[in-house]
Structures are given as structure tokens and as C-alpha cells.
Structure 1
Amino acid sequence: MNIPQAPKDGDFAHWVEEKSEALKFELGEKFPVPPTVLHSPSVHVETGKQKLEEVLLEHEEPTAEFLEELAALGDAPPLSDEELARQALEAGGGDGDASTPE
């Protein structure tokens, strides 16, 4: 009896991923979603403020409000070293605990 060789580690997962991406593209072509229906998965629709991550990573179209805020930040004077240190101490780092700044 001839037993086929098992695929190498990751080959099957890679094949499945390629097929699923191709299917997503094909379905997107057949059933386009109007842009008004799309929203960011990281922010609920009812919240209004758009974030930089949404524009850069999730390819959202920047809103006029976002562009105005970005322009205002660009025109703002640089923060002093003391202010940066104060903000760093208040932030609390990755664990969110301000008593253990990082």
C-alpha cells in the first residue's frame, strides 16, 4: 500500500490561509459593501473621535475633524522636558498603574 507523505509543518495552514484570502477577495468583488456600512472594529460606531491607528492601519478615510485636529497638533509648540517627564510619570505604562511608571 502506498501512503502519501504528510505535508511539512505549516504547509497546510499556509494553503488554507491563501485560499481564504482568495475567497475573501472574490466575495468582496461579488458583494461589495457600501463605505457607509464599514466601521472600525476597534471603536464602536456611536463614538465619534477617529484615531490615527484607524486611519493608518485600518485604512479608514480621515474625517474633516481628524484632519483639523492633526493640523492643530502640527502647529502646537513642542513640549518641555519637564512636561514630557510629568506625562510619562502619570501614564502608568503598559500595566496602567501610575504608581509604577515605566
Structure 2
Amino acid sequence: MSNSDTPKDGDFAHWVEEKSEALKFELGEKFPVPPTALVSPSVHPETGAQKLEEVLLEHEAPSEEFLEELAALREAPPLSDEELARQALADGGADGDTGTPE
């Protein structure tokens, strides 16, 4: 009682793997994965400057440019209270309205 569509012993795992890969592809086409919040829609990830989140959260190796920028920030003098207040008043916050600084 043998069915010609039934895979042989060694072929069953291969058959299951083919079916699961086909299903993954089909589901990926129907339900694409949205980009993460760390990726800017206007800048392609490979062309943008490396960000701190990429180094810390995504475990990317820091680029030479990133390390130089970090060293420059570390060596910069601290901002005065007046400068911090000016920047806070100039920033419009989440809504972009400078009339209601955050």
C-alpha cells in the first residue's frame, strides 16, 4: 500500500523544508515587516551617519568617524545654563511650535 506522492524516508525532511520556505516567502509578500523606529525613511541606513543607538542596541562596530565625533563631544566645554535655556526656548518640541517650548 504505497502512494507515489508520499516522500521516501530521507526525502520527508527535505519536503517539509521546501514547504516551510515557500510559506515564509508567501507570508513575507503578504505581510511585509515595517522598518524599525531607528531607521529614518528619508535616509537609507547605509548612507546615514552612524548613530549611538546603532552601536549600542544593534551591536554595530563603531566607525572611525563615529569615534572621532564622540571624542570631539567629550573634549567640548560644557554648555552654560544660559545656553541650555536658550536652546530649550528655541526648540519647538514634539509639535514643532516654538511658541510653546518644551
Partner residue, 1:53 = 53
Please list, as runs of the form range in 1=range in 2, the aligned pairs for 1:9-48 lying within 5 A after superposition. Answer: 42-43=38-39, 44-48=44-48
Quickly say closer, same or farther: Cα 1:99–1:74, change in 2 above 3 A: same
What do residues 60-80 of structure 1 show as CA deviations (whole Å, max 9, x unaligned)? 211100000000000000001
Shift of 1:96: 2.4
Identity value in percent: 76
Shift of 1:56: 1.3
Partner residue, 1:71 = 71
Quickly say closer, same or farther: Cα 1:73–1:100, change in 2 above 3 A: same
Partner residue, 1:25 = none
Would you say 1:80 and 2:80 are equivalent positions? yes
TM-score under structure 1 normalisation? 0.53
Structure with max Cα Rg? 2
Whole-Å Cα distance in 2 between the matches of residues 96 and 73 of structure 1?
Answer: 26
RMSD over aligned CA atoms reads 2.0
TM-score under structure 2 normalisation? 0.53
Count residues with an aligned counterpart: 63
